[in-house]
Structure 1
């Protein structure tokens, strides 16, 4: 139904606007809160109904695909309805039954509109696109399994009737729902002129029969009000996907009502079903599990990350290879890297203690409304400083501002290890040798000034004069690319005034005890000038800079 989705902006404020070619598949919008995901869905929905995007903030264009002559003729026959008694139809018009009501249409005009949507987008939307659009908000998706009229089963028109008369589709859908929920979806024809969805522990012998065995089976099965909203939502979405009429489906947060495992399964099934059923599905999600399911489905999936900072929006089509790397790498998966897609920023520390400590420091800055605090940040931990680049680099490639935070002994890592740190934060290859020379010079100064280990003896505080200035310049330039190095040596050197023993095993617990947990008490440690508070402020400066270096365009 759509040729492409064109955005008003691209991956960089000064870059080319993003245009994504479309075919039947899922397009998933991810990004932080207030980045425009739901707004994008609203604009897509409005265009399908009205055929215009006047006043849109995110979507520039959503051109419709024209129908072929044969497809246009088939659609006209599909909506054509017999003349009713005493019904008067204008010349060259025919009565048509559309989802939003009965009307009279000019056959030649309708055929022309269906074949030339670029010139008649408003009429195309009114008579075709809007008739094939399904918007699924939270309430709508749980009501999709409410009873429906049986109608004429020789010419089924409702999803339940089409499913009831198609043994193959009913069997496939039943299998999908049973695999995900442990329940068999069945259709109950034993109540008046309705068809009802029920859920059973076993499959019926003859679901389409009205004999006593089937009546008893259906009476013992669970009604829709006896199962969870998650089961209803999951069933309803798959039912519309496989037997519903919509050609375009819009779902805001499909993970609503679903536990994580079911959300991941839904991601798989929606992505596969969109392709096999020829539907265009647009989804906004905050669920890494749903996203992982979509990526693992093996189907073509468009993933667009949206951001909105200080009145400036960006839209970036995420590389599927990088996404699979994030999802399939055990270390990245265990670190929760996929969650970074739904945050403004990501800060990666060496270990879990780094993650917990810097996150707590930042939270106190945010709580105090200190300008150094970073809102919308996700703190992650690597497994040592050498794995920090493995997390930072793929996030950067996806356009996510990600910072690496390491202790000063990273300067001991020459060769390939040092190069990986520089490459991950986007320092140009032509400058890396110069940074290597500067690293070696600072390392010599620190080793000469230390008695045994500069990392635990004060770090840059051991240096003075030109040697200190050289070291500070190196750390400042690295910070300009989002690689933050602890100048005083190691994480345990922060808040030294609290006099906590610098034990690797017990330091985090001890420092948290000394920092206090009750803001109403006098000994609760609040932000102050200098120390780690300013260090987090350095992170904030790079993250908040729209012209930050190190993010691929």
Structure 2
């Protein structure tokens, strides 16, 4: 195949490039990625926090709407180039660019860009498709010095690599922002190029010379959309991408036969497909093929359904070449789950929040996140979505979440301009998971509350863990808790033998299988459990505590737990709010939610409890 690439000003004939060999290794640029790298070493935000970033890492920026996620990417790009933009940043107030490796290793990284018989480098191609870099080029240090991007002297690159004063803005050549327009651009037909003399810079050009890469990207696209991704090498002066079913080769036909070319032309062009397809393909094309040290993606999940967003997250983590730093701003818990599924070696999550004109940043502990992600409750719940909300309320079960979320909506004033906080209710799959999840959310600055049934006072675990996860001191609660526990347990009910025998015999009479059913075993345990005073306390709540001074101690303890963010249901459990409705769990909930949640008198206690979750200013 003989194709051409549009020449850049100052381009001189270069020796034939070393084309990448087929296989996974061909994804890396010429030279050793790990021998020289450039990366964002530290970001300082307007709220004052300075977050160190790791080289060769995936950095995910999350947070509520309007927290500054997309602006962070734009300002990183601005700080890498234009001196003017550094004075107008509102989110990122300072940035450090790190370098690893020697200058000689850096030049080896750029060997394919060197012009023949000179000490100059044609770096114009590094700006292909980078809209922001093109805009900034008029104010970059290169332009101010009258240097042509297509003929950059090695002395200037040395000044940049050795961090001589005034040359940091050369970093713009190695930092890339994939916004939506850039991703769409990547799916448009690429210029043809000369295989013997030109370097394939564009992703589609690289697919032409690397059939393994082309096949892998096609397979990913097939998995996401049920269609293959096919490069058309016979379209003339351009290299378009088609999608659909790969045409079969007939006897005597090959991939450059006119008959096969007609089959390809009949397939839909990728550039004419929906926004989701184009954005998905553009992300993968650029991440696998961009000749940049730092690649940033703004909302890669745009236009994608949740399963596709999760798949894209996994693929971005797997396909990121070694030695490259990937920075992603996202609103999607599904994309974040996909990244975690891939288990990359270095994953950092930064949560941004906004307070007036200040953007506050906190980094989640990566080891803690990995530990939590190994837990099925977290993996298969929506807990990670809490990173994108202003407030989070942890509940023991999904039904509790639905009940309290419905009540919160009901107590909010109608016809008011008061802003309602962005609150998410999420299930932890039982109270024993609350400490670990609350601690993780607290570590990244997510305001967290928890609603628990009264029987959390039965044991010191998970009560102690929940108190400490929410920032409390167990020593300030322990003595009062012990008094309450002893007071409840002195009221242990006595079981009647006749009643217990009758209940168990009834359950045993239902069993006809050789293997004893687990559900029947649980019901038998429930019968015996009624010997515990906490079975009654879960239904009665604070009324199970003996009256008098001990009741005052209990009310004091519950009030202090509320101040901490741990809301114990004083009436016992969710169902105790409306005892006039029978049943338990989902049947009870379905009946209650049919009521007028704003006005029904039986729900006044529940409405009062939910109002107490937040201050009057917040609701």
Question: Shorter-normalised TM-score: what interval?
Answer: 0.7 to 0.9
Matched residue SS, 1:23 = coil
Relative to structure 1, is the Cα distance of residues 470 and 250 closer, same or farther in structure 2, using a 3 angstrom cutoff? same
Matched residue SS, 2:301 = coil
TM-score if structure 1 supplies the norm length?
0.80
Relative to structure 1, is the Cα distance of residues 232 and 478 closer, same or farther in structure 2, using a 3 angstrom cutoff? same
The alpha carbon displacement at 1:428 in A equals 3.0
The alpha carbon displacement at 1:165 in A equals 2.1
Task: Note if contact 1:25-1:274 (Cα within 8 Å) is conserved in structure 2.
Answer: no
Q: Which residue number in structure 2 is paired with residue 136 of structure 1?
A: 178
Task: Note if contact 1:364-1:526 (Cα within 8 Å) is conserved in structure 2.
Answer: no
How do 1:75-86 and structure 2 match up within 5 A?
Answer: none
Q: Which residue number in structure 2 is paired with residue 148 of structure 1?
A: 190
Relative to structure 1, is the Cα distance of residues 372 and 346 closer, same or farther in structure 2, using a 3 angstrom cutoff? farther
Relative to structure 1, is the Cα distance of residues 3 and 392 closer, same or farther in structure 2, using a 3 angstrom cutoff? closer
Q: Which residue number in structure 2 is paired with residue 69 of structure 1?
A: 103
Task: Note if contact 2:540-2:576 (Cα within 8 Å) is conserved in structure 1.
Answer: no
Deviations 1:50-82 (A, max 9, x none): 256334343343222357433565588765669
Give, in whole Å, the separation in 1 of the partners of 2:229 and 2:152: 42
Stretches of structure 1 lacking an aligned partner (at least 5 in a row): 84-91, 517-523, 545-553
Relative to structure 1, is the Cα distance of residues 337 and 48 closer, same or farther in structure 2, using a 3 angstrom cutoff? same
Deviations 1:57-116 (A, max 9, x none): 433432223574335655887656699xxxxxxxx9998745359558673651343223
The alpha carbon displacement at 1:260 in A equals 1.8
Task: Note if contact 1:5-1:59 (Cα within 8 Å) is conserved in structure 2.
Answer: no
Deviations 1:509-545 (A, max 9, x none): 33322215xxxxxxx529999743442333214997x
Q: Which residue number in structure 2 is paired with residue 45 of structure 1?
A: 77
Task: Note if contact 2:488-2:544 (Cα within 8 Å) is conserved in structure 1.
Answer: no
Give, in whole Å, the separation in 2 of the partners of 1:118 and 1:367: 60
The alpha carbon displacement at 1:36 in A equals 2.0
Matched residue SS, 2:399 = helix
Aligned length: 514
Q: Which residue number in structure 2 is paired with residue 178 of structure 1?
A: 222
Task: Note if contact 1:145-1:235 (Cα within 8 Å) is conserved in structure 2.
Answer: yes
Relative to structure 1, is the Cα distance of residues 527 and 255 closer, same or farther in structure 2, using a 3 angstrom cutoff? farther
Whether 1:166 and 2:200 are equivalent positions in the alignment is no
Matched residue SS, 1:515 = coil
Deviations 1:172-208 (A, max 9, x none): 3333333443332221122221111112423776999
Deviations 1:274-309 (A, max 9, x none): 243x33221111212211111222322221122224
Matched residue SS, 1:403 = strand
Task: Note if contact 1:265-1:293 (Cα within 8 Å) is conserved in structure 2.
Answer: yes
RMSD: 4.0
Give, in whole Å, the separation in 2 of the partners of 1:373 and 1:491: 28
Task: Note if contact 1:446-1:460 (Cα within 8 Å) is conserved in structure 2.
Answer: no
Q: Which residue number in structure 2 is paired with residue 550 of structure 1?
A: none
The alpha carbon displacement at 1:28 in A equals 0.7
Give, in whole Å, the separation in 2 of the partners of 1:252 and 1:69: 31
Relative to structure 1, is the Cα distance of residues 93 and 236 closer, same or farther in structure 2, using a 3 angstrom cutoff? closer
Stretches of structure 2 lacking an aligned partner (at least 5 in a row): 1-37, 128-133, 138-147, 494-532
Whether 1:5 and 2:42 are equivalent positions in the alignment is yes
Matched residue SS, 2:86 = coil
Give, in whole Å, the separation in 2 of the partners of 1:167 and 1:379: 48
Matched residue SS, 1:405 = strand
